[in-house]
Amino acid sequence: MNQQQMYRLLDVPDRTLRDWKTGSRSKLYMLLESLDYETAQNLLNMSNNMDLKKLVENEQYYNSLRDFEKDLYEVLVSGRDTKAWLDLSKDTSLSKEARARAAYLYSFLTNKMTQLTFKRKVNVGFFHGNKNETGNGLARLYGLKNGMDMQRFNQFKTTGRF
């Protein structure tokens, strides 16, 4: 990664970066220099839950089931900590639907149930545009009409695409 990319990624002035390069933080600068820009960006995003909030509040951000699934499946196979989904299921700033979706994903990934702080009168699809009711028992426990399409998820896990 070059100095301009470091500036863009970390929002650190050029002068500070030059000081890091020659001063006591030279090891940090060498580490940053050896990282790929996109890899560093992905690592920083892993601690930011905004992309996860976007997925559970999908009615506000997605018009296409394919786009939603592509973004969701990439996050699910990325190796992120599942505790983030549990935290989102307890986040009262999110809608009930989003918290139910987050609880469903936490249970889906960990095989552990979580208690929601509201009554389960959600009755929406996992993706807002999907109105079909399925026999997905785990999704039903959280008040969702349907859950993930396992066949498509497994296809994405093995091939990286649909």
- Under 8 Å between Cβ of 134 and 121: no
How much is the mean pLDDT over the chain? 88
- Same domain for 71 and 113, yes or no, is yes
Amino acid at 7: Y
Strand-pair partners of 124: 144
pLDDT digits (tens, 9 = 90+) for 21-35: 998 889 999 999 999
* pLDDT reported for residue 99: 93
- Same domain for 82 and 155, yes or no, is yes
pLDDT digits (tens, 9 = 90+) for 64-110: 999 999 999 988 988 888 899 999 999 999 999 999 999 999 999 99
- Same domain for 57 and 136, yes or no, is yes
pLDDT digits (tens, 9 = 90+) for 2-20: 988 988 888 888 899 889 8
* CA 125 – CA 141 distance, rounded (Å): 13
Burial class (CB in 10 A: 0-12, 13-18, 19+), 135: exposed
- Same domain for 112 and 39, yes or no, is no
- Same domain for 30 and 54, yes or no, is no
- Same domain for 127 and 90, yes or no, is yes
- Same domain for 133 and 104, yes or no, is yes
Number of domains in the chain: 2
Total-model pTM: 0.73
